[in-house]
Amino acid sequence: MRDLPGDRPREEIFPTPAVRWIAYAVSAAFFLIACYLWYLQVVLGDEYREMARGNRVRLVRRPAPRGLIYDRSGGIVADNRASFDVEVVPEDVEDMELVEARLGEILRLDPKDVRARIRAGRSYSYLPVTVAGDVGAEEMLSILEREPGLAGVRVGVYPRRWYLHGPVLAHLLGHLGAIGPDELERMKGRGAERRDLVGKSGVEGRYEEYLAGKAGAEEIQVDNRGYIDRVLSREEPVPGASIYLTVEMNTQRAAEDALSDGSGAVAAIDPRTGEVLAMASSPTYDPNDFIPPVEADVVRALLADPERPLVNRAIQGAYAPGSTFKPYVALAALGSGAITGDTPVDCPGFFMLGKRPYKCWYAKGHGRVTLADAIMFSCNVFFYTIGYRTGRDEIVRVASEFALADPTGIDLPGERGGILPTEEWRRERGMPRWNPGDTVVISIGQGYLAVTPLRAAAAIAAIANGGKLYRPFVVKQVVSALGETIACGRPDLVREIPIRPNDLALVREGLKRVVNSRYGTGQKGRIEGLEVAGKTGTVQVALPDGGKKNHAWFVGYAPADDPEIALAVMMEGRESGGFFAAPAAKRVFAAHFGITLKEEPPRATPTPTPAAAG
């Protein structure tokens, strides 16, 4: 008999409690998985989508070309050139050992060095690390040929600074260096990164905000091997602004050549405006040495050199002015009424103050002289005498009118001032009471006096132009990448010095005779067809080892009656201003006016002269 359907026994879904609990556990697990998937997709979906996008979309920085720098006539003096850098993106490398070996072979490096460079430069795995900068065409082509087998390796093309004239203009242009933390923070708005170079000195440092430009970027999509698939968006870099200098390259080269065999400085300015026509400092250096890849030995040698080639002596070297100070003593004596232009002084070769003799540089003496001839001869006894009569306070007051101790305010970083022995200056240093002998010594430009070559040039320019003291400047114009003028250098009259016209005429007559008379101490600065006015100076300085040496000076201007250029030449360790500095000034004047000088015989070292000889 068959059982009816309704009579069949009921089957249990979970035959045993154990199976039932296993089923519950599996259900719970699936429920948790479903919840977690919901959490990942709904709650964290945007974040993970962005991460996934980041694996295939990169933001590539495009550095801005640095602004160009031009000389006065529009010739480029600081340019940019294409640099090929070998880079590795660690995220995209499939076989790091293979990459290290291949790059080592191509770049002639030990694979361990390649590995060390990648590790040293690595920050984020998807950012490129520079393994070798500024490689040659051979290395670049080798990498491009093998690129399909070197995932993660690429050749980046970047603008790199290039100084066309090497050491010429080095101190005025300055050099670049690695960006510091403060600079990086300040320039983040321009897209600056820690790999960037910034101006550290000279025009490059002072005008960094204009020259740097603003970096751009590209958003690119890459495939699974890191190769570019397509460009999603692009922000073009904004090139830095161009700068036009006041410098004349022919005058600059003459100034550099005049210093080529020794240490010193030349500063030349237009006395009508304050524009710097030339600025040279020796020894010099090549600013290209600071552009990566930097040769560490070269930079270390520059920093350790006792001659300090990185110092711009034109604005950072302060020297006793020697006899170039005598025109200001003359103006002080005339202005105070201590002398007139016809007041005679007898020079027997020495000046007696009490029982102490102060010698003239010319032992036989100059005889009976008046002011213009005293300047021409650079007679020490004459200036001992009138300086003693005038007194320290009046001499310092007049020298202060010419701002001889003050920085000029030129648009270059690092300028220093000089020294004038004011009461305040002496009191700050706890110096002993001033005595008459100190006045005698400063009357010939020695003692507690110091001036920079640029300040000496600016001061003699004020005598040349009738008493107008201008602030020197080196940048004439700043022009944006769009051609808009965004800044201009303009004549800045600091002050008009109150000088009686007759007093100024007497001093200027003496300065003419210095160069153009057969008895003048600066006659080696004479140029046929061009009347030059000037003053020589020779300063004796003590050496650390107890010895002594001389520094040679010449300050002057031309043409004497309608000046277009004023300059100062300072040469360290030279016996005579008339024998060394005056011929150097002659070369600079001739270059400025386009005059070809006759070939001169080689210079012989003159017989050493006492300190402060003209």
Query: Reduced to 3 DSSP states, what percent helix, strand and coil does the chain have, rounded to the nearest 5?
Result: 40, 25, 40
| 270 close to 289: Cβ distance less than 8 angstroms | no
DSSP bridge partners of 479: 242, 485
Q: Residue 500 has which token pair? A: 């009686």
Q: What is the CB-side half-sphere exposure of residue 240 using CA atoms within 13 A?
A: 28
Q: Residue 359 has which token pair? A: 């010698």
Q: Phi, psi (5° rounding) for residue 138?
A: -65, -50
Query: Smallest Cα–Cα separation from 190: which of 336, 294, 67, 341?
Result: 67
Q: Residue 89 has which token pair? A: 């993106």
Residues contacting 314, CB < 8 A, separation 6+: 171, 265, 266, 267, 279, 280, 281, 452, 453, 454
DSSP bridge partners of 199: 176
The three-class DSSP label of residue 331 is: helix
Q: What kind and span of H or E run contains 143?
A: helix 137-146
Q: What is the CB-side half-sphere exposure of residue 324 using CA atoms within 13 A?
A: 40
The three-class DSSP label of residue 33 is: helix
Long-range contacts formed by 339-342: CB under 8 A, 24+ apart: 339/371, 339/386, 339/389, 341/370, 341/371, 341/372, 341/502, 341/506, 342/370
Q: What is the DSSP letter of 494?
A: E
Q: Phi, psi (5° rounding) for residue 329?
A: -65, -40
Annotated active-site residue 323? The verdict is yes
Three-class SS string for 500-569? CHHHHHHHHHHHHHHHHCCCCCCHHHCECCECCEEEEEEEEEECCCCCEEEEEEEEEEECCCCCCEEEEE
One-character DSSP codes across 565-606: EEEEEEETT-S-IIIIIHHHHHHHHHHHHTPPPPP-PPPPPP
Q: Is 434 exposed, middle or buried (0-12, 13-18, 19+ CB in 10 A)?
A: middle
Q: Name the residue with tokens 């070292």.
A: 605
No. of helices (H) and no. of strands (E), the chain: 21, 23
Q: What is the CB-side half-sphere exposure of residue 592 using CA atoms within 13 A?
A: 27
Encoded amino acid at 408, one letter: T
Q: Could you give the CA distance from residue 598 to residue 614 in angstroms, rounded to a whole number? A: 24
Q: Is 4 exposed, middle or buried (0-12, 13-18, 19+ CB in 10 A)?
A: exposed
Q: Could you say which of 323, 378, 443, 576 is catalytic?
A: 323
The total of other beta-carbon atoms located within 10 Å of residue 310's CB is 21
Q: Could you give the CA distance from residue 10 to residue 441 in angstroms, rounded to a whole number? A: 130
Integer Rg of the chain from CA? 37
Catalytic residue set = 323
